[in-house]
Structure 1
Amino acid sequence: MSATADACAAGPFVHPALFYRGDTEYLAGTVPFVWGGLAADEPVAVAVPGDNLALLRRELGADAERVRLLDMTEAGRNPGRIIPGVLRAFADTHPGRPVRIIGEPIWAARSAVEYPACVQHEALINLAFTGRDVTILCPYDVETLDPDVLADAEATHPVLIDGEGRRPSTVYAPAAVIDRYNQALPVPDGAFELAATTDLAAARALAHVRAAACGLSADRLADVEVVVTELLSNSIEHGSGSGTVRLWGGDGEFVCEVHDRGRLGDPLAGRHPATPYQPRGRGLLLVNHLADLVRLYTGDDGTTFRAYFRG
């Protein structure tokens, strides 16, 4: 498996899924990929969950100092943050050079609420890196992940690697995956609603009060205020001229969403890194940076952004 994992680093952009069983197969599929990049003087980053990060760090030994290592449970707890804040943040600092990244955004502890955002992220990688000389290897634990998750991985990755070798995916269809997980977001009973508003101050104040009642810390309350302001501002400016704000939560979690009647046209909205001299267009990027999870639905009845915050 090590030879096949290393072989997929050819071409302008390569996005293989690595299906592994246990630590031995994980290391066989990832360590030669890292060492191959280092031997070729290519920048290498690894963003995987903490246990696998520790496993790789031990196996790489002194070479770990030459690799950008990130715990994906922190850096990528919101999947909408991974492209701009992890993948592009690393690749864009090495312009004109081939880059290798191991990114593991899906693991067994991901919740059912998080998963649609995770699989959409995997599909959007293909759009975000088209034409780039970048290889992003995505490990999937076949012993702990559901068969449906593995099937989705085959649809979001053009190349598949497992114990039998390397092969092209016969069901690769990332656009269809993005559409399939573009799901309407039901609103729970008891949610507070501020309908069709342009009043940023009122939305911010109400969100602060409701989030405080859910037990969020002072720092998280400040984040909630920023996110509600940015989402409603986006609806006013780019949606239908106003937005409906909905707020709910409990037990240390708070959720806010903003719905408008506009239709989102850019599937990478909120995932484009901002340039230092960019005066506008940072709002949705900031939302992804601050929230613990962002879900999105856009359809004929409009667009909804939903942001989750944990205490």
Structure 2
Amino acid sequence: MDGRPPGYVHDALLYDSADELVAVAAPFLLDGLAAGDAAVVATSARTADALRDAVNGDPRVHVLERHDVYRARTPTAITTFRSLAEQRAAEGVHRVRVVGEVDFGPTERDWLEWQRYESVINAALADWPLWGLCVFDTRRLPEPVLESALRTHTSVVGPAGRARNDRFVDPAEYLRSLPVPAEPLEDTPPRLSVHDVTDFIGLRHAVAAELTGLAAPRDLIEDFQLAVDEMTSNAARHGRPPVRLDLWTGADRIVCSIRDHGSGFDDPFAGYGPAHGEDLSRGGMGLWLARQLCDHVDVSRYDDGVQVRLTVRTG
């Protein structure tokens, strides 16, 4: 042992009252401060207020705006926690304890992205000196989200203490088990369809022309175009021709499917960080960028190739 704290610890608290939340989460934070850890809260305002009161407003407990952490796309949330650990390490703190409360969103489609996230971070943060206590309000959250909490956390915590979670599923296995949701727009004629992409500059102009005039912020459109460009280039570079692109626009979203005929890849963690870590000069940024620029990125493997589907909400 070299005296360093262990890597990422991922605990879950499923609670059904404010008293139970405070009884577990407040000591978690205060015990951390007593041990020399940093203490951070990234939750809803309701939860943050309850915990702030429980620790008597201790200024050492740092409260983050949940929107800044969790309403960003999932790779950005991972980057936020890594940066937090780096900042505290520079200040001489060896570990950061975080009480986190994901905003899973209103729809099953939104839930899925954050279910993926809760599993991915077991690998993405594995070597980082972070101890996460993720809190789940059983009175408000839907059953699929509560079930996923028990599949994605290595330990469960309650008033009686902390215990190993026997229902935890290996992250790679869990991620592969999650469905790729159907997209109804794919059952309609696309707004743009290119069956054999060879002219990438021409394709870029064609996509831009189809998106011009949509009732959506310009920066959102530009980000989506960049994601499409990256994924199309990836398909041509790493897959086998022909590369096909289909684009749909709906009342509240834009969807683009890029499909090639290569053997694809079987890495369920792809795109949640640069393929080559901190060395961005080596490339491997396409899927990572797409996950940051789009609300949903779905990868499907078929016998004859791979499809990446990009979705961004416009309303």
Q: TM-score range by the shorter chain?
A: 0.7 to 0.9
1:202 aligns with 2:195: no
CA shift for structure 1 position 147: 2.5
Report the counterpart of residue 155 of structure 1 in structure 2: 151
Q: Unaligned regions of 5+ residues in structure 1, if any?
A: 1-9
| Post-superposition offset of 1:224 | 1.6
Percent identity between matched residues is: 26
CA displacement, residues 227-255 of structure 1 (integer Å, 9 cap, x when unaligned): 11111112122233553222223334222
| 1:142 aligned residue | 138
Matched residue SS, 1:264: coil
- Which of the numbers 294, 304, 307 marks the counterpart of 2:297? 294
1:1-311 matched pairs, under 5 angstroms: 11-53=6-48, 55-57=50-52, 62-64=57-59, 66-67=61-62, 69-71=64-66, 73-77=67-71, 79-82=73-76, 84-94=78-88, 97-107=94-104, 109-173=105-169, 174-183=171-180, 185-186=182-183, 187-192=186-191, 193-241=193-241, 243-262=243-262, 263-272=264-273, 275=278, 278-311=281-314
| CA distance, structure 1, for counterparts of residue 202 and residue 111 of structure 2 | 32
Amino acid at match of 2:15: Y
The equivalent of 1:7 in structure 2 is none
| Distance (Å, rounded) in 1 between the aligned partners of 2:214 and 2:121 | 34
Q: Which amino acid aligns with 1:290?
A: L
- Which secondary structure does the structure 1 equivalent of 2:207 belong to? helix
Shift of 1:181: 0.7
| In 2: Cα distance, 1:252 partner to 1:259 partner | 23
Look at both structures and tell me which one has the larger radius of gyration over its CA atoms.
2
Residue identity matched to 2:219: D
Deviation at 1:80, TM superposition (A): 3.0
Do 2:176 and 2:268's aligned partners in 1 also have CA atoms closer than 8 Å? Answer: no
Asked if the contact 2:48/2:63 (under 8 Å) is kept, the reply is no
Structure 1 residue 19, shift from structure 2 partner? 0.3
Letter in 1 for 2:265: L
Tell me the C-alpha RMSD between the 2 structures: 3.0
Q: Deviations over 1:196-238 (max 9, x none)?
A: 3143333333333333444112121211221111111121222
CA distance in 2, matches of 1:51, 1:214: 37
Tell me the amino acid that sits aligned with residue 120 of structure 1: R
Question: CA separation in 2, counterparts of 1:55 and 1:199?
Answer: 57
| TM-score where L is the length of structure 2 | 0.80
Aligned residues: 300
Measured in 1, the distance between the counterparts of 2:302 and 2:102 equals 26
For the residue of structure 2 that corresponds to 1:215, the secondary structure is coil
On the 8 A contact 1:78/1:293 being kept in 2, the answer is: no
**Distance in 2 (alpha carbons) for counterparts of 1:214 and 1:289:** 21
Relative to structure 1, the CA distance from residue 209 to residue 62 in structure 2 (aligned partners, 3 Å threshold; closer, same or farther) is farther
Structure-1-length-normalised TM-score: 0.81
Question: Would you say the 8 A contact 1:158–1:172 is kept in 2?
Answer: yes
Preserved CA contact (<8 Å) 2:82 2:128:
no
Aligned partner of residue 248 in structure 1, secondary structure: strand
How far off its partner does 1:178 sit? 0.9
Which blocks of at least 5 consecutive residues in structure 2 are unaligned? Answer: none
Structure 1 residues 121 and 250 mapped into 2: Cα distance closer, same or farther (>3 Å)?
same
Spell out structure 1 runs of 4+ moving beyond 6 A.
Answer: none
Q: Secondary structure at the match of 1:113?
A: helix
